[in-house]
């Protein structure tokens, strides 16, 4: 009879509470869905407490009741000596289920009454390990109803007092365990003080370590290269390093005319000089001569590459306000990324903090060290930002210290193919324990041209084994693309490789050279190369020329030039693409206006190497006619004497003077009426 009684009670209480909480579940979902969706503890309670199979749960409840009331010695039980104590983990989950329900209900009530207090649902990282590691004696004595009542009372008390965490009171239920505990992963920081020492962060702010950078810039006009575009004003961030260096992003000061800096808490602006710019790595170095600026400043120190899941604090001056801002984030990825400003691919760190305009150049701090520089974000994505890691920063600073002018990052000048296919590896003679990548092509002017050949298999780089996907070991279980080892070298350094060639393993050394593009991808802080003759504006073709077609230049710019910009290969030293950039209309060039954007290939039957070669051939010509052949077969024929006379007229009509031609000027004497480059 006792067995039947408690079995009936166990089934009855289970189904009663099941339908009771099901009704509450539906009520919250229908009438206060926002509160329900934010009530993670309530949902967790169902996932932990109500998902087991009903008979199994009822049987567990039956034995649980026996253990609580110590009825295992009841005479009608099959064995008077058989006792049963529920496992501590199952009991713990049962108790946690009830407490989660209580906290979920109280949390929903908070939303319903609109108090807006901080949620007090217990966190798994702090509560569940203590629950699971608690002795079964404590759990066995934790009856569900008292736990539910105490939990709900603490929840209401927490709500009334402003949202104190429920975890603060859980010690009443679970005393400290003397056994081994289960460690949960660290949760994301709740404030920036969790990612950087609060006292150090205060020192950074008070010491003026992070500055606001004001820049007035004006870029040349690629279409009319003797002119500049209207000046623009922009702001960014920067920070102070040891040695009185101010580090910021290159895109903050690109094409600068005037740069000023202001410290946090200081109303004065100080004129800054741009010492060095690395557009490929998007870094720039500033200096300030005014001694007043350096009074009381705190110089920051560089740290190392942060680990995944490390918390960082990004400090800067984003748009939307004038004062300094501190944002917390977590490192989510470390890999090679495209640096938008310099059109290069270097190591970058992805964080889940927004990098907004104005944040660029600000430091990312971990504890008391700088672990990166904020520089870009991902378009059409929320809270995905990127920081430049310390190895890139150190490479830039070393380059500036070692060379009179910044040289930049080098490259191998090769294209590779992954060796993932088994037949491919067998064909190349790779052993079972060999991995690597296959060299598909080698640029003729690259450093690898003397050491590598097509279909070589790169097995190792700087002693690190290259995997079939092209990666090498980075840190512990992390991997990066093998050219990271190349990017860590300075221009002129030598990198060692082990390659498989025709079945033999060879060791080779490759000189690291700067990338030498046929079409320059960026021309920041540079004046255009051009000359004008008979109204034709001849210029060296660069990618900024194509960007004058607007944001959709990849689709609207001339197809032939677009193809050359992306896939053109320089085959000779000094080689450039010369184009008719613009035609200043005059009677001498009537009928040729449509030839703007066409590529120049020959002059008077001779190939053109670059713009300077074209200019020299033109000024030395004494033929009656000038014959300019274009890449598509079109030709421009001009009378030499008439062209020289027309040049002065055209320059005057378009108000172009030698004072506006930078290093270009009007020729006199034998070269009368001809403007050119020297």
494 vs 668 pLDDT, higher one:
494
- Shared domain check, 201 and 145: no
Q: Is the pLDDT of residue 111 over 70?
A: no
pLDDT confidence of residue 26:
67
Q: Is residue 186 part of a domain?
A: no
d(CA 566, CA 543): 9
**pLDDT tens digits for range 653-673:** 998 875 444 344 333 233 433
Q: Is residue 161 part of a domain?
A: yes
- Shared domain check, 151 and 88: yes
Q: Is residue 584 part of a domain?
A: yes
Mean pLDDT of 169-181: 35
- Shared domain check, 282 and 353: yes
pLDDT confidence of residue 477:
84
Q: Which of 514, 546, 568 is the last residue of a domain?
A: 514
d(CA 211, CA 284): 14
Mean pLDDT of 234-258: 95
Q: How many CB atoms lie within 10 A of CB 21?
A: 18
Q: Considering the chain, what percentage of its residues have pLDDT values greater than 90?
A: 53
- What SS3 state is found at 396? helix
Q: Is residue 187 part of a domain?
A: no
Q: Is residue 356 part of a domain?
A: yes
- Shared domain check, 371 and 232: yes
pLDDT confidence of residue 52:
45
Mean pLDDT of 1-12: 57
Three state DSSP letters for 220-258: ECCCCCCCECCCEEEEEEEEEECCCEEEECHHHCCCEEE
Q: Which of 204, 110, 127, 205 is nearest to 161 (CA)?
A: 110
* Residue 200 confidence class, pLDDT cut points 50, 70, 90: confident
Q: Which of 402, 435, 457 is the last residue of a domain?
A: 402
Range of the domain at 624: 530-677
Mean pLDDT of 203-230: 92
According to DSSP, the β-strands at 494-501 and 478-481 are: unpaired
pLDDT confidence of residue 79:
38
- Shared domain check, 642 and 624: yes
Mean pLDDT of 216-229: 93
H runs (alpha helix) in 375-532: 390-402, 422-427, 484-487
pLDDT confidence of residue 106:
52
pLDDT confidence of residue 206:
84
10-14, 138-142, 328-332, 656-660: the lowest-pLDDT one: 138-142
User: Of these residues, 360, 557, 647, 675, which one is catalytic?
Assistant: 360
d(CA 140, CA 92): 9
Residue with tokens 């040729």: 592
User: What's the N-to-C CA distance of the chain in angstroms?
Assistant: 112
Most confidently modeled range among 81-95, 474-488, 497-511: 497-511
- Shared domain check, 357 and 242: yes
CATH number of 472's domain? 2.30.42.10
pLDDT confidence of residue 304:
93
Mean pLDDT of 133-138: 39
pLDDT confidence of residue 10:
59
126-130, 347-351, 488-492: the lowest-pLDDT one: 126-130
* Residue 173 confidence class, pLDDT cut points 50, 70, 90: very low
The number of domains in the chain is 4
**pLDDT tens digits for range 43-73:** 544 444 444 444 444 554 544 444 444 444 4
Q: Is residue 182 part of a domain?
A: no
Q: Which two tokens stand for residue 20?
A: 């009771």
- Shared domain check, 57 and 146: yes
* Residue 207 confidence class, pLDDT cut points 50, 70, 90: confident
CATH number of 222's domain? 2.40.10.120
111-115, 120-124, 365-369: the lowest-pLDDT one: 120-124
pLDDT confidence of residue 574:
92
Q: Is the pLDDT of residue 182 over 50?
A: no
User: Of these residues, 255, 280, 282, 399, which one is catalytic?
Assistant: 282
- Shared domain check, 121 and 56: yes
109 vs 577 pLDDT, higher one:
577
Contact 498, 459 (CB under 8 A): yes
360 catalytic residue (yes or no): yes
Mean pLDDT of 386-408: 94
90 vs 366 pLDDT, higher one:
366
Q: Is residue 315 part of a domain?
A: yes
Q: Which of 172, 205, 235 is the last residue of a domain?
A: 172
pLDDT confidence of residue 427:
94
d(CA 621, CA 618): 5
d(CA 646, CA 355): 53
Contact 249, 284 (CB under 8 A): yes
- Shared domain check, 151 and 214: no
- Shared domain check, 567 and 502: no
Contact 607, 600 (CB under 8 A): no
Q: Considering the chain, what percentage of its residues have pLDDT values greater than 70?
A: 68
**pLDDT tens digits for range 461-481:** 999 999 999 999 988 888 999
Q: Is the pLDDT of residue 637 over 90?
A: yes
- Shared domain check, 293 and 219: yes
Q: How many CB atoms lie within 10 A of CB 35?
A: 18
The CA-atom distances, in angstroms, between 215 and each of 254, 271, 273, 655 are: 9, 10, 11, 30
166-170, 350-354, 365-369, 575-579: the lowest-pLDDT one: 166-170
Q: Is residue 184 part of a domain?
A: no
- Shared domain check, 292 and 151: no
pLDDT confidence of residue 448:
92
Q: Is the pLDDT of residue 558 over 60?
A: yes
193 catalytic residue (yes or no): no
Q: Which of 532, 459, 533 is nearest to 498 (CA)?
A: 459
CATH number of 587's domain? 3.20.190.20
Q: Is the pLDDT of residue 170 over 90?
A: no
pLDDT confidence of residue 4:
53
251 catalytic residue (yes or no): yes
User: Of these residues, 251, 256, 279, 533, which one is catalytic?
Assistant: 251
Mean pLDDT of 523-549: 93
């Amino acid at each position: 009879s006792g067995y039947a009684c408690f079995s009936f009670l166990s089934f009855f209480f289970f189904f009663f509470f099941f339908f009771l909480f099901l009704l509450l579940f539906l009520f919250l979902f229908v009438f206060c869905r926002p509160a329900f969706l934010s009530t993670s503890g309530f949902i967790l309670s169902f996932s932990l407490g109500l998902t087991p199979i009903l008979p199994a749960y009822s049987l567990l409840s039956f034995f649980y009741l026996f253990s609580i009331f110590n009825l295992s010695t009841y005479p009608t039980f099959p064995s008077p000596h058989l006792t049963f104590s529920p496992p501590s983990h199952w009991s713990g989950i049962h108790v946690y289920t009830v407490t989660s329900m209580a906290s979920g209900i109280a949390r929903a009530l908070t939303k319903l009454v609109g108090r807006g207090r901080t949620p007090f649902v217990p966190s798994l990282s702090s509560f569940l390990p203590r629950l699971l590691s608690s002795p079964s004696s404590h759990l066995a004595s934790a009856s569900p109803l008292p736990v539910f009542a105490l939990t709900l009372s603490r929840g209401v008390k927490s709500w009334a007092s402003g949202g104190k965490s429920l975890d603060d009171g859980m010690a009443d239920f679970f005393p400290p365990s003397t056994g081994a505990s289960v460690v949960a992963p660290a949760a994301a920081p709740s404030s920036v003080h969790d990612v950087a020492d609060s006292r150090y962060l205060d020192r950074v702010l008070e010491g003026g370590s992070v500055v606001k950078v004001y820049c007035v810039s004006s870029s040349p006009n690629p279409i009319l290269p003797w002119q500049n575009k209207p000046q623009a004003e922009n702001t960014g961030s920067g920070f102070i390093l040891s040695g009185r260096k101010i580090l910021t992003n290159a895109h903050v000061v690109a094409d600068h005319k005037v740069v000023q800096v202001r410290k946090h808490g200081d109303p004065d602006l100080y004129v800054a000089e741009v010492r060095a710019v690395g557009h490929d790595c998007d870094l720039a170095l500033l200096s300030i001569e005014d001694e007043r600026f350096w009074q009381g400043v705190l110089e920051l120190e560089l740290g190392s590459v942060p680990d995944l899941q490390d918390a960082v604090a990004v400090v800067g001056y984003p748009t939307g306000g004038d004062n300094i801002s501190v944002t917390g984030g977590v490192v989510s990825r470390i890999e090679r990324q495209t640096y938008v400003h310099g059109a290069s691919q270097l190591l970058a760190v992805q964080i889940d903090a927004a990098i907004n305009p104005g944040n660029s150049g600000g430091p990312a701090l971990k504890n008391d060290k700088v672990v990166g520089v904020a520089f870009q974000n991902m378009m059409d994505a929320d809270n995905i930002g990127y920081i430049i890691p310390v190895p890139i920063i150190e490479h830039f600073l070393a380059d500036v210290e070692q060379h009179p002018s910044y040289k930049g990052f080098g490259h191998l000048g090769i294209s590779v193919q992954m060796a993932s296919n088994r037949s491919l590896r067998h064909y190349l003679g790779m052993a079972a324990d060999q991995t690597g990548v296959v060299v598909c092509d080698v640029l003729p002017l690259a450093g690898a041209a003397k050491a590598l050949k097509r279909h070589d298999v790169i097995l190792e780089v700087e002693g690190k084994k290259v995997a079939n996907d092209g990666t090498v070991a980075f840190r512990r279980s992390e991997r990066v693309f093998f050219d990271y080892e190349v990017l860590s070298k300075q221009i002129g350094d030598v990198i060692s490789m082990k390659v498989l060639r025709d079945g033999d393993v060879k060791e080779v050394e490759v000189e690291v050279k700067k990338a030498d593009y046929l079409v320059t991808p960026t021309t920041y802080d540079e004046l255009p190369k051009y000359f004008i003759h008979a109204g034709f504006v001849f210029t060296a073709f660069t990618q900024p020329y194509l960007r004058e077609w607007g944001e959709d230049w990849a689709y609207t710019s001339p197809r032939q030039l677009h193809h050359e910009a992306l896939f053109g290969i320089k085959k000779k030293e000094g080689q450039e693409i010369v184009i008719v950039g613009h035609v200043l209309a005059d009677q001498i060039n009537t009928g040729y206006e449509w030839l703007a954007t066409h590529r120049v290939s020959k002059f008077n039957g001779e190939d053109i190497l670059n713009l300077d070669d074209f200019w020299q051939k033109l000024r030395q010509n004494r033929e009656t006619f000038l014959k300019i052949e274009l890449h598509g077969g079109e030709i421009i024929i001009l009378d030499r004497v008439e062209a020289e006379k027309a040049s002065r007229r055209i320059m005057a009509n378009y108000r172009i003077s030698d004072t506006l031609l930078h290093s270009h000027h009007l020729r006199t004497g034998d070269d009368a009426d001809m403007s050119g480059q020297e």
